[in-house]
Chains A and B, each alone.
Chain A
Amino acid sequence: MTLEKTRAAINLHAILRNLEDLCQLDDDAKTLLTGHDLSIGMHVPGLEPLTLAIKDGCLRARRGKAGGGLRLQFLSPAHFNGMVAGTKMPLPLGNLQHLRFLQNNFAALAKDLEKYLKPDKESLKDPVFLEKNTRLTAAAALYAASEIAGTDPLGQKIAAAMGNGSILLEVPGVLAYTIQARDGRLTTLKDAQPPLHAFMRFKSLDILGQVLRGEADSYLAIGRGQIEVSGRIPMVDNFNKLLGLVSFYLA
């Protein structure tokens, strides 16, 4: 049950949340949004809902309910995970006029996202694709880490050991995320959000991607100066343990 709940939390608040970034990075995804104005709320028992608000060619992912719109109700985390896997259907409620968007455009968005998060080797040879893959994988991993910290028993222990503070994970000038730790709970935020107490800096998007895809040894990368860690090292150490659990859940 815990595994299903954590998987559902990751699918909801890390993977599907990533549609927001996909729609900023990928022209095909942007096209699927053009001319649509709606919100889709995903409600999974035991988890905070995710609302996807689509307007003016943009998609915004927010935690929590939004009034109105199409509501997708799931009976359990396993039911939701089944939908993500393509084996189960949600219960659509609320404004059902957007069902066609769900069946067509949303399904296509999800497929587009999957293409980047589960890339084939050939696609990774294209530098443009590779950059999008890295950005989306990084977002998925960092948001997933916070979900694991909140729902997985081992993740909760690790998060409790982190203390209070914020970690900046960045490729300077290219990409930045802040992981806020407070009383055993983690929140992943975009950009640097001071005050900051620990730092993981990757020399390039390439090296970040290699580490995320398991192609590079992060300890070697530290030794080579390709990853710089500083500040409160125990926070970074414990966060790295959470990233290790992300690999387990996303495998």
Chain B
Amino acid sequence: MKTYDYPNSRALFDRAAQVIPSGIYGHLGPAEGCFIPVSAYPFYIDHAQGAYFWDVDGNRFIDYMCAYGPIVLGYNHPAVDRAAREQLEKVNCGVLPGEIMVKLAEKLVSMIHSADWAFFAKNGGDVTNLAMLAARAHTRRKKIIKFAGGYHGVAQWMQFVGNAGIIDEDVSNIITLPFNDAEAVSAAFKRYPGQIAGIIATPYHHPAMADNALPLPGFWTEVRKLCTQEGAVLIVDDVRAGFRLDLHGSDHHYGFEADLICYCKALGNGYNISALCGKNTLKEAVSSVFYTGSYWLSAMPMAAALATLEELEKVDGAKLMTSLGKQLTQGLEEAAQEYGFHLLVTGEPAMWNMRLTDDDSGVLHQQWVSECVRRGVFFTSHHNLFINTALTQEDIKYTLDVARDAFCALKATRERSKA
């Protein structure tokens, strides 16, 4: 199979290095994005359509990161882009919000089973942070429970002491517990009676650089009960999983109800919008929080979001992505076995995590992933992957062919190094 080169990406990176910190910072860059080795990966996108993107060297990739989640219907979905364009032709960022804001809020309230209202912002971190503030405002308490490995954004309280710029005081009211340990949650409430404002968690455990874990039977029932009993706010961070497991909310998927639920990523199919939805009991608390942003009420992303939700309903998006994900991951596991490797798939099929377990350092997995990338299948080695509804059977077949070719290359490399 042909493998890709990236001369234009590299040249553009050299230009970027002069004027942008790190060249490309953040999770889309080669350092934090864990491009291992860097030589296997493109750095810049030129254009995209459906399940694919093309880099600046003209190489085509199937995007299994979906831009780290947002691209749920495929790039440049015609209905979403049309809705956005029509709104843009009227107004986008105006001095007042448009009717579209009300329409979108009504849509979310009708879809999300734990939502009585919706509040809009731009990034997932905007709404996870708002959820924390609302919990504190509502309860007049300080402490927040989160689960080890859970990612909720980059605000100070969400990070760790040791990260640049983070001090003890930023995290001194954060209690970190193991996911799936309801007893630990109960013990925390006993240890800090009347002090815990809320619990924030992803609906299932999908940390970076670690196997994913679904909630154990009874975990969420117990946590819900404890929050109700103790007067703490249960916040579900559905930023990553939202609309991929269940169009009514990932809490609905797991059989419980959140008090507050956070959305971003898939909400606008790439148009930048986030939403905090929640129960009427917290409406006033949210209204009381001083929280706003210049672009938060922009109309164009709202139009895109409304169209995205309507399309997801039309195609029964969560069910479709789960089915495609099951098919793909089963094929990947089988491909690994054919070549004598063991691929461990964890998490939900629509956004699965995978890891070769044949080497406990992770180097083998990083090598295999890089071989897939070189052949036009864009995986990452450190993060869960994502399905979108534009993926076809042909794409799955191509992906499995690439996976096999990559396993073949990996096996050959392994045998050469043993010799």
Contacts and interface: CB of A to CB of B under 8 A. Distances in A.
Tell me whether A and B are bound partners. Answer: yes
A63 interface: no
A229 B36 contact: yes
A157 B162 contact: yes
A196 B161 CA distance: 27
Contact of A225 (B17, B24, B32, B37): B37
A223 B17 contact: yes
Given A157-B161, A223-B17, A223-B31, A228 B37 contact: yes
Contact of B164 (A165, A199, A231, A244): A244
Given A217-B22, A233-B209, A197 B360 contact: yes
Interface string B28-71: 01111010111100010000000000000000000000000000
B13 A219 contact: no
A219 B29 contact: yes
A222 B164 CA distance: 19
B163 interface: yes
Contacts of A197: 360-361
A89 interface: no
Given A231-B363, A241-B162, A241-B163, A219 B31 contact: yes
A198 B22 CA distance: 22
Interface in A144-198: 154, 157-158, 161, 165, 196-198
Interface string A207-251: 000000000011110111100111111100010010010000000
Contacts of A219: 21-23, 25, 29, 31-32
B366 interface: yes
Nearest to A225: B38
A220 B17 contact: yes
A199 B363 contact: yes
Contact of A231 (B17, B162, B362): B362
Contacts of B21: 217, 219
A196 B362 contact: no
Contact of A238 (B29, B30, B162): B162
Interface residues of A, number: 27
A199 B31 CA distance: 14
A246 to B, nearest CB: 14
A197 B362 CA distance: 8
A223 B361 contact: no
Contacts of B23: 219-220, 223
A158 B14 CA distance: 33
Contacts of B25: 219
Contacts of A230: 36-37, 361-363, 366
Contacts of A157: 161-162
Contacts of B398: none
Interface in B288-324: none
Given A233-B382, A241-B162, A228 B38 contact: yes
A70 B38 CA distance: 52
B372 to A, nearest CB: 16
A40 B248 CA distance: 72
B209 A234 contact: yes
Contacts of A217: 17, 21-22
Interface string B351-368: 000000000111100100
Contacts of B339: none
B360 A223 contact: no
Given A233-B209, A233-B382, A224 B160 contact: no
Interface in B144-188: 160-164
Interface in B119-163: 160-163
Nearest to A235: B361
A129 to B, nearest CB: 28
A222 B29 CA distance: 10
Contacts of B209: 232-234
Contacts of A232: 209, 361-362
Given A199-B363, A223-B31, A233-B34, 20 more contacts: A154-B162, A165-B361, A197-B361, A217-B17, A218-B31, A219-B23, A219-B25, A219-B32, A222-B31, A222-B38, A223-B13, A224-B38, A228-B38, A229-B36, A230-B36, A231-B366, A232-B209, A233-B382, A234-B209, A241-B164
Interface of B: 13-14, 17, 21-25, 29-32, 34, 36-39, 43, 160-164, 209, 360-363, 366, 382
Give 4 closest A-B pairs by Cβ, nearest first.
Answer: A219-B22, A231-B361, A222-B31, A158-B162
12 contacts: A154-B161, A161-B162, A199-B363, A217-B21, A217-B22, A222-B31, A223-B30, A228-B37, A229-B36, A238-B162, A241-B163, A241-B164
